[in-house]
Structure 1
Amino acid sequence: MTSAEDFTLTFHIGAHKTATTHLQRSLEHAADDLVDAGVRYYGPDYFRLPGRTINRLFSLKPRFAKENRRSAADQLALMRKGANRLLFSEENYAGALNVSRPGQVIDRYPDAGARIEKLVAATGLPGIDLCLAIRHPATFLNSAYGQHLLGGRVVSSADYLAAHPLEGVDWSDLVVQLSAVRTVRRITVWRYEDYRPLFRDICTALVGAAAADFITPFGRRSHAGLSFDAVTAVHAAYDGRNGDGLAGRYRAKYPIGDAHPAFDHFDAATHDRVTLAYADQCAQIASLPKVRFLRPTV
């Protein structure tokens, strides 16, 4: 069983398209050193293997509870292996990035709070610390649309925005939802736009100050977006049946740069309006009692 007195569970729950992959690769690269510092890290390389989703490992759905011989508390203790801290990073646990069914995304990650509450209750821990990155809603949707195309789901920009409107990206609603969970002790939040200057502070929130010394930014940007020319080429080549591989092919042919500007759903006036709304969301989030909102010092 896991002793609550000398143990912390921290969960980096995303969000999607906020440099999560880069951060996860940086953590994975430092995993052995983190073990020596008393921290065990589990990310997508672990949780996306067959039979290792969080729901399955911790028996969070009835069918898994019938199959698993190990209780959720025992599973946590097994993963802990004597460490002082466990760090989970899996943005898919908070919910899906894009909807694949007909309809509209009214709220982003509407079940995230309930899912966190269910996990903590199953493990028997008194609480959990959460870490969350947020992003300017317009650039978030631009990036999410690119991911939609890269996944082989070719739809027009207008159809995508009809299903994923700007109004559905309200980070303050998400953080209020998470902070309402009684067993959430602290939520550390940062903006994607501040990721680079805050990298050390983010790592400290994830693993503690001493262990953060072992983490360095790993490699370059993990997932490049799509240019206007790449998106145009995808739609021109799409046969109405199979979009697999198209976006990846044209991303390589027309990479974002001076010759190929990044794709953008929105005009300058919309960006300005959303920038003001995003600043208001950040201010609301920073005012919440459980939240530590990271900001660059300069």
Structure 2
Amino acid sequence: MTRIRFHIGAHKTATTHLQMTLARCRLVAGTRYVPLKRLRRLLTSRVRKGRLILPWHRWYRGTWLFSDENILGTTANALEMYPQPASALAYFADCELTVFLCVRGYETFLPSAWGERLWHHPVRPFRPELPQRRWTDLVDDLKAALPGVAIRVWRYEDYRVHSEAIIRDYAGGAIERFSSSPGSRPKSGFSARAVEELGRYAGTKVGKRRLLSIRERFPVGENHPPFDPWSEEQKRVLAEMYADDLAALRERVELWQPGMPRHSFYESQNE
């Protein structure tokens, strides 16, 4: 049976870094990684739109490494904490599927997802409201829709420090030569001053060129702090929500922890 180790995001949790790193790694025979653009063109975009022609991925009897955060939904869905996370992912459930998810603290995740949406959609004000859905709801929905499918989770905050260990474990020990130098730099976030400038274009699609110009004029740094829409009380509540979620996730799925022996968290494809 075809094995699929599917990294599903979420958005703005260093998915680009993981994808770019894997594209430069050498994998052992029997495991293949499909670069994001090719994966979307040939498979995941078609699955999401219900336009799949041939299920070519099922003809391979080895292990696929897939990574596409859009399989969860759009950035608009991210702002709602992905109300239907398995609607497209269920297509792969007849393979030997393992799902990998990265979670992030709400305080930075939600503004980052909002900022990502600006690249392709009209400017809308960010609404600093506490999320009604949470990471635990997302995981519970995945478990209900994908019975028997293993779900593995790591924290974005851990990935920033332990990316190599996490990528190696996600690949199931299949990386023969690791590359820690992605070919290009992922998009950075917006400063508070840049967001203020973007307010001039409310309701309109700014476009990539203008967005780049605004971000370069007001880069995140000493002179321009990052966009921070929350009150101090909201930050306290969001931090408590995230801590509670992590504690609950430890009871629901396997949560990666720093210091774990290599490959002890994610089973090897041969085990």
TM over 0.5: yes
8 Å Cα contact 2:48-2:88 kept in structure 1: no
Q: Which residue is 1:175 aligned to?
A: 139
CA distance in 2, matches of 1:197, 1:220: 19
Q: What per-residue deviation string (whole Å, max 9, x for no partner) do you get for residues 65-99 of structure 1?
A: 6xx3x4x3xx1245x3x6x3101111101111116
Q: Which residue is 1:25 aligned to?
A: 20
For 1:150, give the aligned amino acid: W
Alignment of 1:189-204 (within 5 A): 189-204=153-168
For 1:91, give the aligned amino acid: E
Query: Sequence identity of aligned pairs in percent?
Result: 31
TM-score (norm 2): 0.84
Q: What per-residue deviation string (whole Å, max 9, x for no partner) do you get for residues 39-69 of structure 1?
A: 11124221333xx24253x6983xx36xx3x
Structure whose alpha-carbon radius of gyration is higher: 1
Q: What per-residue deviation string (whole Å, max 9, x for no partner) do you get for residues 97-145 of structure 1?
A: 116xxxx96x522222243223324xxx2x3100000111121111122
Q: Which residue is 2:118 aligned to?
A: 149
- Deviation, structure 1 residue 260: 0.6
- Decide whether aligned partners of structure 1 residues 198 and 224 sit closer, same or farther in structure 2, where only a CA change above 3 A counts: same
Residue ranges of structure 2 left out of the alignment (5+ in a row): 261-271
Runs of 4+ in 1 over 4 A off after TM superposition: 239-242
- Decide whether aligned partners of structure 1 residues 220 and 176 sit closer, same or farther in structure 2, where only a CA change above 3 A counts: same
Q: Give the root-mean-square deviation of aligned CA atoms.
A: 2.7
For 1:45, give the aligned amino acid: K
Residue ranges of structure 1 left out of the alignment (5+ in a row): none
TM-score (norm 1): 0.77
- Deviation, structure 1 residue 201: 3.1
Q: Which residue is 1:118 aligned to?
A: 91
Q: Which residue is 2:57 aligned to?
A: 76
CA distance in 2, matches of 1:145, 1:259: 22
CA distance in 2, matches of 1:196, 1:220: 17
Alignment of 1:257-272 (within 5 A): 257-272=221-236
8 Å Cα contact 1:60-1:119 kept in structure 2: no
Alignment of 1:1-298 (within 5 A): 4=1, 7-30=2-25, 33-34=26-27, 36-49=28-41, 52-54=42-44, 56=46, 61=50, 64=51, 68=53, 70=54, 72=55, 75-78=56-59, 80=60, 84-98=62-76, 107-121=80-94, 125=95, 127-158=96-127, 161=128, 165-211=129-175, 213-218=177-182, 222-236=186-200, 238=201, 241-245=204-208, 246-288=210-252, 291-297=253-259
